[in-house]
Amino acid sequence: MRVNVRLFGILAILAKERSVALQMAERATLGDVLTELGRRFGGDFADHIFRVEGEMHSYCGIFVNDTLVNDLNEELRANGPAAEVGMILLMASEGG
């Protein structure tokens, strides 16, 4: 499944990108995507998302297909025939 990730604020600064396209397994979870982003962009990026391994900071809002998702075990679903999922990671201190 193709997953399009849009980053804002400090996360975009840390990643040095605002948009990231990932190819994930068909039954990928939100946690799988966030783990891949942490692997790709490094520990400082991951530290802004995860409080401890497997638990997000409460100030990090993640929207999947325009719906706020807090469950890392949530399976991602494609939004249309192109099998793309749009995600926004926005720190609460920046308006999230």
For the chain (length 96 residues), average pLDDT per consecutive 10? 86 92 91 94 92 85 84 84 56 61
| CA distance linking residue 35 with residue 68, whole number of Å | 18
The whole model's pTM is what?
0.84
Those residues whose C-beta lies under 8 Å from the C-beta of residue 6, and which sit 6 or more positions away, are 18, 19, 86, 87, 88, 89
Give the pLDDT of residue 73.
Answer: 94
Closest Cα partner for 65 from 78, 75, 74, 56?
A: 78
Give the pLDDT of residue 86.
Answer: 58
Give the pLDDT of residue 63.
Answer: 84
- Residue 44: its H or E element: helix 43-49
Ramachandran angles phi, psi of 16, nearest 5°: 60, 25
Give the pLDDT of residue 77.
Answer: 82
Give the pLDDT of residue 14.
Answer: 92
Chain centre distance of CA 3: 9
CATH class of 2-94: alpha beta
Domain positions in the chain? 2-94
